[in-house]
Amino acid sequence: MSLPLDPQDERFDEAPRRPPLPARVIAALRAGLSGALKPGALPELWRWPVNLALAAAFVLVLAGITHIVSILSMPSLATRNGFERLSDQFDSNTMSLLPDPTPQEATLPMMDPAFVTAVCPYDLNDHPLTVRVPATADYTSVSFYTAEGLAFYALSDQAAGKVVELDLMNADQKAALPEDEEVTAADRLVIESPSQEGIVLVRAFVRDRGLKSEVRRQLEAATCAPSGGS
Amino acid sequence: MRLLPLSLTLLVAAFLGLAVTWFAVSTSRGLDSVRSGAWVGWPRSGTVKADPYARAAVARSGELPLELADGLVFLAREDDKGRPLDGRCETRIVGILPQARLWTLTVMDDGGNLIANDARRYGFTSAEMIYDTDGAIDVRLSPRARPGNWLPTGARPRLQVALRLYDAPFSFASSGGHEAVPLPRIVQEACP
């Protein structure tokens, strides 16, 4: 898309040499845009509003394209998304407890202060992972996020029983699972990650503030480690 | 000279487009929202089914949003009359909460940070709350200590309140998107 500018257009040459800047801009805009119209197709009186409308439409279309492109590219351009923040600070493929959010600092924005949180940034390139989360005194959930920071799976202790134990693998590793094993290990939850990297996030509810240290201690037993053998 | 109108047009267009983008990602978390009174929720924004606006907002903010199977967040930045929540006012959040295994109510400043206070009280959980006889909650947000369920606001000029419902049995996917569940009313009074 480009502005059709006709070098032969006489109005260019007729433009005064050095008028004040705003006048020059307007003159140039008018000259450029009226080139889009066939000369003489419209009465002289109509040309100015039509030019203005054309310019506005052109700006709007371009602004729309800019907007859409910037929205679509933001996930790949954002360098401080949830995954980046956590994998910068915490070791890959191990479970770490996050410090409690305080007014001064929080590891992630919008954390619920009534929960104790543990994270495991994972990388499935070498091997699948086994995630084991003991039930704490109260509500506990395990959520899985892609490297874009979007959740692809979550389950709570109610859905999983006393100890949440599951295997996290990529599509290839899941396809390589022996078929009979899937049948025998009925209680083994297999989660397929859509991306090689991501985050396992464990949230444990603290019913009362006095119980916080106890819940933290219970959640310290949560692990996230390479699956041993097959 | 001929480049001037073109570059000017491009500049205005780029500015306009980026301004709309900035506005979209800082005020909303996607097009797919559920409203109830002053509360807004984005049930699918944190999931892999999120629309491009939600993806952009999540990438920019850096949060890891709640999965729908885990819980649902409702945010309120205004009261029921549409006035922005002001930490210098006496604000009451009154009503019955929908069925959920548990919920938490958290007060934050405009940027989503917790508000420092001596009591280190940033919110209530469903277990800490003192309920009315009919099961309704009555939370008071105020810069000064109040009897009952008081949350300190630190007299911040702008507040936002997050209501998180965990393990809630109701389905938002089938609710059609508007006025899905009744949530507590938010009333501001005694503003300076």
The burial class, CB within 10 Å (0-12 / 13-18 / 19+), for A9 is middle
pLDDT above 70 covers a percentage of chain B that reads 93
Residue A66: the pLDDT is: 93
Restricting to B residues 162-191, those with a Cβ less than 8 Å away from any Cβ of A are 162, 164, 166-167
- What mean pLDDT do residues B87-91 have? 90
Handedness of CA A100, A101, A104, A107 (dihedral sign): positive
The total of other beta-carbon atoms located within 10 Å of residue B157's CB is 12
- ipTM tops 0.95: no
For A42, B58, B120, B144, the CA distances from B117, given in Å and listed in that order, are 69, 28, 5, 11
Report the pLDDT value the prediction gives residue B182, as an integer from 0 to 100. 83
B59–A75: do the CB atoms touch at under 8 Å?
Answer: yes
φ and ψ of A141, to 5 deg:
-135, 155
Give the residue on A whose Cα is nearest the Cα of B24.
Answer: A71
Find the CB nearest A3 among B6, B52, B69: B6
Mark yes or no for CB contact A59/B115 under 8 Å: no
The residues, any chain, with a CB within 8 Å of residue A87's CB and separated by 6 or more, are A121, A197, A199
Q: In A, which residues are within 8 Å of B64 by CB distance?
A: 82, 108, 143, 145, 149, 151, 199, 201
A23 by DSSP, 3-state: which?
Answer: helix
Q: Does A146 contact B48 at a Cβ distance shorter than 8 Å? A: yes
User: Pairing state of beta strands A140-146 and A151-156?
Assistant: antiparallel
CB contacts, 8 Å: A106 with chain B: 113-114
Q: What pLDDT, in 10s, does the model give residues A135-151? A: 877 889 999 999 888 88
Which pLDDT score, from 0 to 100, does residue B174 have? Answer: 45
Lowest-confidence region among A14-23, A99-108, B54-63, B82-91 = A14-23
Angle between helices A21-34 and A44-77 (to 10 degrees): 90
Question: By the CB < 8 Å criterion, does B11 face chain A?
Answer: no
Phi, psi of B142 (to 5 degrees): -155, 150
Residues 78-137 of B with CB under 8 A from A: 101-102, 104, 106, 108, 112-116, 122-123, 125, 127-128
pLDDT bin (cut points 50, 70, 90) of residue B1 is: very low
- Domains along the sequence of chain A with CATH: 10-77 (no CATH), 82-226 (2.60.40.1610)
Helix (H) or strand (E) holding B26: helix B3-27
- A156 CB neighbours in chain B (<8 A) are 69-70, 166-167
Interface test with B, best of A9, A13, A66, A142 (most B CBs within 10 A): A66
Q: Check if A18 contacts B (Cβ < 8 Å).
A: no
Measured between CB atoms, does B70 come within 8 Å of chain A? yes
CB contact under 8 A, B114 and A71: no
> In A67-217, where do the E strands start and end?
96-97, 115-123, 129-134, 140-146, 151-156, 163-169, 189-192, 197-205
Residue B186 has pLDDT above 90, yes or no: yes
According to the model, what pLDDT value does residue A35 have? 57
Q: Find chain B residues with C-beta within 8 A of A64's C-beta.
A: 17
Distance CA A146, CA A156 (A): 19
Which of the residues in chain A have pLDDT under 50?
A: 1-3, 9-15, 184, 229-230
A169 Cβ contact list (under 8 Å, min separation 6): A124, A128, A129, A177, A190, A191, A192, A193, A227
Three-class DSSP category at A7 = coil
Q: Is A143 on the interface with B (CB under 8 A)?
A: yes
Give A162 or B51, the one with higher predicted confidence: B51
Shortest Cα distance, chain A CAs vs residue B166, angstroms: 9
In chain B, which residues have their Cβ closer than 8 Å to the Cβ of A151?
A: 46-48, 64-67, 70
Q: How far is B188 from chain A (nearest CA, A)?
A: 24
Cα A147 to the center of its chain, rounded Å: 8
**Looking at the complex, does the CB of residue B61 fall below 8 Å from at least one CB of chain A?**
yes
Contact A78 B1 (CB under 8 A): no
CB contact under 8 A, A149 and B62: yes
| Alpha carbon distance A140, A201 (integer Å) | 11
Looking at the complex, report in whole angstroms how far the Cα of residue B155 sits from the nearest Cα belonging to chain A. Answer: 14
pTM reported for the whole predicted model: 0.79
Domains of chain B (ranges, CATH numbers): 3-189 (2.60.120.600)
Spatial distance between the Cα atoms of B118 and A188, rounded to a whole number of angstroms: 46
What are the E-state strand segments in chain B? 34-36, 39-41, 71-76, 90-95, 102-109, 123-125, 137-142, 149-152, 159-166, 185-189
**Would you state the pLDDT for residue A200?**
93
